[in-house]
Amino acid sequence: MKIENLIAQIHKKKSFLCVGLDTDLDRIPTHLLGEEDPLFAFNRAIIDATQAHCVAYKPNIAFYEAYGSRGWRSLERTMDYLNSNCPEHFTIADAKRGDIGNTATRYAQAFFKEMDFDSITVAPYMGKDSVEPFLAFEDRHTILLALTSNKGAYDFQTKKVGKRELYREVLATSKDYQGAERLMYVVGATKAAYLKKVRDLVPQSFLLVPGVGAQGGSLQEVCKYGMTENVGLLVNSSRAIIYASDKEDFAEVAGQRAWDMQKEMEKEMQARA
């Protein structure tokens, strides 16, 4: 997907919501467990109920991989469904892969080609030659981990490397990568105050922001420090939406929650327009 199409969709829907598909057999409504493919049945219902209010979907690959090839099949079905029924939605493989050369190309092939994802999250530890193979794909986007929303982010990411913190070193260095115009970054909402420093280095890049809600981040703070004239944000919510109800009404309630978030986002967009 071209970035212009994502931006157009955000303005049309007045939403920059990404729904995280962290679909877990231990948490989905029990009446779905009798289905042939419960993970896919759950996802399909969630997608149908939320698609009007969100611009992106982010399957968390670990939750599928945990069931081996069977889980991968559920992921493939989910992507087929998304690409057939919601071609305008931006899709993110939350895979946090990171390896070099032809290995990285194979991961890119898995997600960009086999499953037709628009983007993938990638870890920066191995440096340039672990990121550029992903950037080589036209109209696909690589979402590099910069500053994550977890406590362990303080272990290395915020440590000073020379004059600046590691996450800023990652931001600055990655701007010179071949294909850098296809880069986005993960910046956790629990670290909203850092967004100012992030924007100093990447004023226009899209940021994928996890951690609003469940992990305690504030949408207003994120928008205050992170929003650009093209919005430039994809705010993810997973559990707060998809597990809002564990009863037969789970999809309806998820749709309502997504709509609530869309309305909050609309307010933020208007306030900062």
Return the structure tokens found at 238: 């997973």
- Measured from the CB atom, the residue of 128 and 267 that comes closer to its own copies is 128
Is 34 an interacting residue with respect to its own copies (CB under 8 A)? Answer: no
Is 228 an interacting residue with respect to its own copies (CB under 8 A)? Answer: no
One of 33, 52, 161, 193 touching its own copies (CB under 8 A): 161
CA 232 to chain centre: 13
* Helix ranges, 119-249 (H): 128-135, 153-156, 166-174, 195-201, 219-226, 239-242
Is 145 an interacting residue with respect to its own copies (CB under 8 A)? Answer: yes
Return the structure tokens found at 33: 């467990």
Is 148 an interacting residue with respect to its own copies (CB under 8 A)? Answer: yes
Q: Give the interface size with its own copies as a residue count (CB under 8 A).
A: 57
Is 126 an interacting residue with respect to its own copies (CB under 8 A)? Answer: yes
Cα separation of 128 and 70, whole Å?
33
One of 39, 86, 104, 254 touching its own copies (CB under 8 A): 104
Integer angstrom CA distances of residue 12 from 9, 88, 103, 142, 261: 5, 11, 38, 24, 16
Cα separation of 9 and 13, whole Å?
6
Query: For the window 5-24, what string marks contact with its own copies as x by the rule CB under 8 A?
Result: -----------------x--
Return the structure tokens found at 270: 């208007």
Report CA dihedral (126, 127, 128, 133) to the nearest 10 degrees.
Answer: 30
- Measured from the CB atom, the residue of 50 and 174 that comes closer to its own copies is 174
Query: For the window 191-210, what string marks contact with its own copies as x by the rule CB under 8 A?
Result: --------------------
Q: How far is the CB of 25 from its own copies (least distance, A)?
A: 11
Q: Are 43 and 29 in contact (CB under 8 A)?
A: no
Is 130 an interacting residue with respect to its own copies (CB under 8 A)? Answer: yes
Q: Of the residues 12, 14, 96, 159, which is catalytic?
A: 96
- Measured from the CB atom, the residue of 130 and 142 that comes closer to its own copies is 130
Q: Exposure string (b/e) for 118-156, b if CB count within 10 Å is 16 or more?
A: bbbbbbbeeeeebbbbbbebeebbbbbbbbbbeeebeee
Is 101 an interacting residue with respect to its own copies (CB under 8 A)? Answer: yes
96 an active-site residue?
A: yes
- Assign 5 to helix, strand or coil: helix
One of 14, 73, 197, 267 touching its own copies (CB under 8 A): 73
Is 154 an interacting residue with respect to its own copies (CB under 8 A)? Answer: yes
Cα separation of 57 and 44, whole Å?
12
One of 85, 103, 204, 220 touching its own copies (CB under 8 A): 103
Which residues sit at the interface with its own copies, rule CB under 8 A? Answer: 22, 60, 62-63, 65-73, 75-76, 94, 96-101, 103-104, 106-107, 109-110, 114-115, 123-131, 145, 148, 150-157, 159-162, 166, 169-170, 173
Which residues are tagged catalytic?
96
